[in-house]
A and B are shown apart, each in its own frame.
Chain A
Amino acid sequence: MSAADWRKAMNAGAGRYAWTAARPAPRPSPRPSPLGEVAATGWAAWVWGRVRARHVLALLAVLVYPWVATPFFTYQIGAQALALGLIALSLTFLAGYGGMVSLAQMTVAGIAGYMYAIFATSGTDISLRWPWGLAVVLALVIATICGTLIGWFSVRTEGIYTIMITLAIGVAFYYLAQQNYSLFNGFQGFQSVMTPAVGGVELRAPLPFYYLALFWALAGYFVVAYLLRAPFGVALQGIRDNPRRMSALGFNVTAHRVAAYSVAGLIAAVGGVLMVWYNGLVSPGSVGTSWLINILIIAVLGGMRHPIGPFIGAVVFVLLQNFAVDLVGRERFNLLIGGVFLVIVLFSSDGLLGWWAQGRQYMKTQFNRGPGAALTQRRRQ
């Protein structure tokens, strides 16, 4: 497809059709803006109308967290959950909003990690020892291209076949990385991959690394949240729900899907670079089948209907991985991990977010019995 076609296809979704029907009607501003009439139509009003106390609290909590927690909790629990959450976010974007369950998102992240290790400095002679900034850019670009190619291969399939083909690609890359010695250094992979120091601050240290991961996690979150309301995201959700109809309406279904893979590829690539910095190494084990599936588990565990889901899932996943061993016998701790996953998946329609939604619904019916209750409920949904 030529670039012009592409642009036309993408623009088709943006302007030509009236999306007001599909989009939720603009809500009546729930609160009068304190900034007066001038700001009532600007971005400040938009923010004021949308931000709730829980959003501010959550943001404060993640900002203050490393000052309260031990370095171990900051680094191994906090930062790791943010980086893994970012990779799972790319899957949530694809699966929850595009209807395409790709198991190869960890592969894309792994490609970014490998590329960073190859271009930057590591303990192996294969590494080119280029400046880390250049290595990061190259890693992101190459991984995003690979993510797009994987998408381009697999968009022709639907449902379980997409899972199969992306799993096949993931496993193929695992074996390539394990058996190729000239580029991927085989079984050993790359050890002692150095995390850079910026302006005298060692990014490897728990506190800076946590904020680095937090910055990119927030960036990923807001990019996805924005995209979902942008014409592209709305068209993507339309394609998820009824591709034939969208096609009949003049949308290029394939182009939208491939573009979704590109976006997801970029998000996963950022997560992949964070993971290689976090671990200080990348080896075939980092892109093995167990990790491909772990990313799916994280996404499903958290819930696929909101971009915060994968981060919640990642926190639960990382906590279980670390502390299940203390709760039950050393030889049986995987039983607890599996049990928790089963309970969440069995008893909630949408992971932990499903429970959150159910809980809020319950609270509302319990406490909002006044005359305004029905209105509040409608407005908040």
Chain B
Amino acid sequence: MKSLTRRLLWTAVGAMTFAAVVAGGAIAQAPAVKIGLLATLEGPFAAGGQDGMRGAELAVKERGGVVAGRKIEIIKASSDAKPDVAVNATRKLVEQDKVDIMVGPLSGSEGIAVKNYSKTQPGITFINGSSGAQATTLQDPSPNFFRFNTEGAQWMVGLGDYAYKTKNYKKMALIAEDYAFPYSQVQGFMTEYCKAGGKVTHKAWVPLGGKDYSSVIAKLPGDVDALLVVLGGADAVNFLTQYEQAGGNKPMVGGSITVDQTVLNFKGKRRESLLGTPSAGPMADRYEGAEWKKFVAEYKESFKDGFPSPSLFAYVYYINMKAALDGLDAVKGDLSGGQAKYREALRTLKLKTPTGEVTLDENRQAIGTTFVTEVAKAADGGFYNKVVSVVPNVNQRLGMSKADFDKVGLGSRDVPNCP
């Protein structure tokens, strides 16, 4: 009995020594650059988080897993769209796993929390995942937090003019979910729409994940030309169904996540009336740009289990990870001096994305392209979002000067206003 125990013990010690030697050798060979990757693999955005990770992996794969001669080591972590969970996961990646660069998180309030945490870790560079809160970079920005994607308000630029001038909607009512992302979207739309001369006479803010819209529909004024609907996919379908049952007949203008596949596959009687519904966003499935088509083809080839076409999350994680790697390439993998050189490279990076060039403003926030789209009918009878205009170089202050923008402030229930 005793000899058996001792033999087992020695075997274990031998195996561990061997493992340590092998691991040590591997480390000595290639000084890998460690990148932490945080997305939501739990909770309401689990599917989106998974696709976000696919996007980031695609950016690594394009470089063959090596940047400037250094191997790229990705360490993943998960949150559930709650800010405290996101900070805990980030803290583990930074302090325990000792990553050099952080990419993430996915949702708005997580982004603000991680940005605040980034101030306590000046030696690490943080790059956004897909979070899109305006406040992350507009209020109290952090010197080591970079965001290469545009956010909710920027995504609506171009749509206000299109609705007023092309569609000739002079008076609108809006229905939107009651939290920060729709506030930003509404601000992006109304800033332009009000300036063009349009009026938004009625605002209905509904809770996220609402089921019953009958009371909201009953209160909608009859003298408007169209409705601005900023609801997430499932909420939008619920609203459309009930609006149709109540006999509503106004045309619709959608937010960036409103007119998605669930809405386009809407089977109600008013299906035809969806034709011509404009919306806007940072990407468009049917964009004809060569770079975009290449990106979609690569995504489809790499991820057989992925979506039929890359989601918004996959795309945004892709460009942020691409920025992290392009920056590393620019400094030849040199992260010395508290990553000062690397950050300078990121600040001045002219990032080539599938939808055009992205540069950063003084708050390290992206200035990029927005697409205005409209629902159209394909040859096979299915509906899709046709690109009607491309707005390049959209900045976070929506084309206003800093003083003008600060006067208005961030979007909220009552800001902006033009009844």
Contact = CB atoms under 8 A, between A and B. Distances in A.
B87 interface: yes
B212 interface: no
Contacts of B76: 325, 330
Contact of B82 (A181, A285, A331): A285
Interface in A321-361: 321-322, 325, 330-331, 333-334
A325 B96 contact: no
A321 B79 CA distance: 10
A144 interface: no
A350 to B, nearest CB: 29
Nearest to A76: B91
B87 to A, nearest CB: 7
A76 B78 contact: no
Given A187-B109, A280-B87, A322-B92, A179 B207 contact: yes
A191 B113 contact: yes
B112 interface: yes
A72 B91 contact: yes
B50 interface: yes
B83 A283 contact: yes
A280 B88 CA distance: 11
A133 to B, nearest CB: 23
A123 interface: yes
B347 interface: no
A295 interface: no
A123 B115 CA distance: 13
Given A71-B95, A186-B178, A283-B109, A331 B84 contact: no
Nearest to A175: B207
Given A325-B77, A330-B41, A283 B91 contact: no
Contacts of B324: none
Best-buried of B76, B78, B82 by chain A (most CB within 10 Å): B82
Contact of B78 (A70, A181, A333): A333
A254 interface: no
Contacts of A75: 91
Interface in A79-100: 80
A72 B116 contact: no
Interface string A278-308: 0111010110101000000000000000000
A33 interface: no
B87 A187 contact: no
A285 B91 contact: no
B90 to A, nearest CB: 10
Nearest to B87: A279
B166 to A, nearest CB: 34
Contacts of B95: 70-72, 76
A321 B88 CA distance: 10
Contacts of B78: 325, 330, 333
B406 interface: no
A72 B113 contact: no
B84 to A, nearest CB: 4
Interface in B92-132: 92, 95-96, 109, 112-113, 116-117
Count class of interface residues, chain B: 20 to 34
Contacts of A72: 91-92, 95-96
A191 B116 contact: yes
B290 to A, nearest CB: 34
B84 A283 contact: yes
A325 B41 CA distance: 11
Contacts, number: 82
Interface residues of A, number: 31
Contacts of B112: 188, 191
A146 to B, nearest CB: 21
B91 A123 contact: no
Given A70-B95, A331-B50, A285 B85 contact: yes
Interface in A2-44: none
B291 interface: no
Given A187-B179, A280-B116, A325-B77, A123 B140 contact: yes
Interface string A50-89: 0000000000000000000011110110001000000000
Nearest to B95: A72
A19 B175 CA distance: 66
Interface in B189-217: 207-208
B116 A334 contact: no
Given A186-B179, A280-B87, A123 B139 contact: yes
A290 B83 CA distance: 14
Contacts of A313: none
A147 interface: no
B41 A283 contact: no
B351 interface: no
Interface string A152-187: 000000000000000000000000000101000011
A123 B77 CA distance: 27
Nearest to B139: A123
A71 B139 CA distance: 29
A70 B82 contact: no
The 4 closest A-B pairs by CB, nearest first: A285-B82, A72-B95, A187-B179, A279-B84
Given A72-B92, A76-B88, A188-B109, 16 more contacts: A72-B95, A179-B207, A186-B178, A187-B178, A191-B83, A191-B109, A279-B87, A280-B87, A280-B113, A281-B84, A281-B116, A285-B82, A285-B83, A290-B80, A330-B78, A334-B42
Interface of A: 70-73, 75-76, 80, 123, 179, 181, 186-189, 191-192, 279-281, 283, 285-286, 288, 290, 321-322, 325, 330-331, 333-334
21 contacts: A72-B91, A72-B95, A72-B96, A76-B88, A123-B140, A179-B178, A188-B109, A189-B83, A191-B83, A191-B109, A191-B116, A192-B140, A279-B83, A279-B87, A280-B87, A281-B84, A281-B87, A283-B83, A321-B88, A330-B41, A334-B42
